Structure 1
Amino acid sequence: MAERVAWVTGASRGIGRGIAVALGRAGWTVWITARSGGASGPTSHLPGTVEDAAAAVSEAGGRGIGVVCDHRDEAQIQAVQQRIETEHGALHLLVNNAWAGYERLNAGEWAEWNAPFWQQPLGLWDAMFASGVRTHYVTSAICAPLLRRSSPAAIVTVSMEAGARHEPSYGVAYSVAKAADDRLAEAMAGQLAADRVASVALYPGLVRTEGVMQFAEHLDLTGAQSAEGVGRVVAALAADPGLMSLTGRALVVADLASHYDVDVTG
């Protein structure tokens, strides 16, 4: 098989790492970016670096390449894109997963996360958009020319069902940001379709990430998904010859798992 190249952002831990490792098991070359690196140090008390994730991809059977990258800085994104283009000449899958919107929650601010919006710091909105939605837009824009030349290709933007409908338990900034991610995936799909580049939003369920497991006492984890289980769905989706028929849609991980007969819990 020809080399298949993916870039997973925000992949030092959590869902991003799970997606990267699952792609590695499927034989992909996976570029992994995040702010946490061995030399630069972690951005959180949670474990994980880009080097650790890259090693896990390689151990799974793929080729992992870890690069420290702050996705709020387009120059750093451009530098990674140029390396991918120089080393491979192609990019078949971009997974937009970088997301700083959980930083304060991961630091232990459970009460703040569940407070009404007028009691939350305004910086939470900025984290959701400047370090979330904007990073997805900028990374996609920088990668679009290479993806178009590599088609068939795909952009998967990790979102959440808060984008499709608002529930009282969702924070205002979170709900609006996820709706923006969904519209981003839909709008990009229309402009990329002629080049056979699919763009979809992806809705994982409750995933047993390092951050989530801090709050296990507050959560019902029955049927919760694993990060690599979400990744197995992404690998199956990327290999689907009918992927273009799904472009522009928000796709639920549980539904895709049933369709592709993929285990998402283990």
Structure 2
Amino acid sequence: MNTKTVALVTGASRGIGRGIALAFLAQGMTVHVTARTVTDAQASVHPQQEGSLDGLKAEAKDLPGELIVHVCDHADDTQTEAAVAAALRQSGQIDILVNNAWPGYENMVEGTDYTWERPFWEQPMWRWNAMIDVAMRTSFVASRAVAPGMVARKTGLIVNISFWAAQKHHGNAIYGIAKAATDKMASDFAHELRPHGVAAISLYPGLVRTEAVLRNAEYFDMSNSESPQFVGLAISALWADPNRLEKSGKVHVTAELAREYGFADIDGKKIVPASLGDF
């Protein structure tokens, strides 16, 4: 058995996934990551405009952990399964799975048309495909692939990245459906995994300073914003908690975990926990 903590973070070339990977690496973990975007040139023509596996490798090179990248298009189940199999083959185990892959924010503006906030009957069906057929399905497929090893070792943590849209309308019906399903998935996984000592949770970040948010910072109140790494710190703290099974099956907020476990953001800032009324 690998004595280092081994994590797999899906969708880690940019945004929250990248931050989680960097936080884990800073703590000395072995971190497997997946993404489609390999080079900065590919990133420049991506709808999100930036963020690549090559860029992540450059940023991670001086960190104490080990980064292992897997080029993976999660729209293809076989690629998701192959990435998990490769991680298990290389590291022998996966202790933490973070289901973060999320193409749902791509193309919020189509041409000059902001389609994100259209009513459900005017939503483009590709958005359902991105959020449900890719993001939700990937979370299930990846979890299904890692669970047997966790069950056999009687330890592990599955984290689904979610958001308050699961509990209230937040601009887009498909978004709410996807996030509500994300929470339910974590809850039901937890029920079935609990007898085997494996935890599953749903995690709500606050306003995270992703590349896309920073490009549009003038539209946000950034005063209580979180670094992408802050999300990783929350997961690490939960993993270090010997009583984490008590939190299994529930929704958790990053800043609430920070308050409970006593850690700050990477700049030393104490983040104020958000609540349903803030969104």
TM-score tier (shorter): over 0.9
CA contact (8 A) 1:23 1:231 kept: yes
CA distance in 2, matches of 1:210, 1:27: 25
More deviation, 32-41/215-224: 32-41
What amino acid does structure 1 have at the position aligned with 2:237?
Answer: A
Equivalent pairs counted in the alignment come to 264
What amino acid does structure 2 have at the position aligned with 1:144?
Answer: A
TM-score, length basis structure 1? 0.92
CA distance in 1, matches of 2:109, 2:154: 37
Q: Identity across aligned pairs (percent)?
A: 38
More deviation, 152-161/43-52: 43-52
> Is the partner of 1:41 in helix, strand or coil?
helix
What amino acid does structure 2 have at the position aligned with 1:100?
Answer: P
Deviation per residue, 1:37-95 (Å, 9 max, x gap): 13993344522222332443442211111111011212112212222222221110000
Q: What is the match of residue 120 of structure 2?
A: 117
More deviation, 145-154/3-12: 145-154
- Counterparts of residues 128-207 of structure 1 (less than 5 Å): 128-163=131-166, 165-167=167-169, 169-207=170-208
Specify whether residues 109 and 131 from structure 1 end up closer, same or farther in structure 2 by C-alpha distance, changes over 3 A only. Answer: farther
CA contact (8 A) 2:9 2:99 kept: yes
Q: What is the match of residue 231 of structure 1?
A: 232
> Is the partner of 1:16 in helix, strand or coil?
helix
CA distance in 1, matches of 2:104, 2:229: 21
- Counterparts of residues 63-78 of structure 1 (less than 5 Å): 63-78=66-81
CA distance in 2, matches of 1:108, 1:263: 40
CA distance in 2, matches of 1:247, 1:41: 38
Note the aligned Cα RMSD (angstroms): 2.1
CA distance in 1, matches of 2:101, 2:217: 23
Q: What is the match of residue 9 of structure 1?
A: 10
**Cα offset for 1:106?**
7.7
More deviation, 236-245/117-126: 117-126
Q: What is the match of residue 209 of structure 1?
A: 210
The answer to whether residue 97 in structure 2 is matched with residue 94 in structure 1 is yes
What amino acid does structure 2 have at the position aligned with 1:166?
Answer: K
Deviation per residue, 1:224-265 (Å, 9 max, x gap): 111011111111111111111111001011111111122237
Structure 2's unaligned 5+ residue stretches are 268-279
> Is the partner of 1:202 in helix, strand or coil?
strand
CA distance in 1, matches of 2:232, 2:244: 16
Structure 1's unaligned 5+ residue stretches are none
More deviation, 115-124/251-260: 115-124
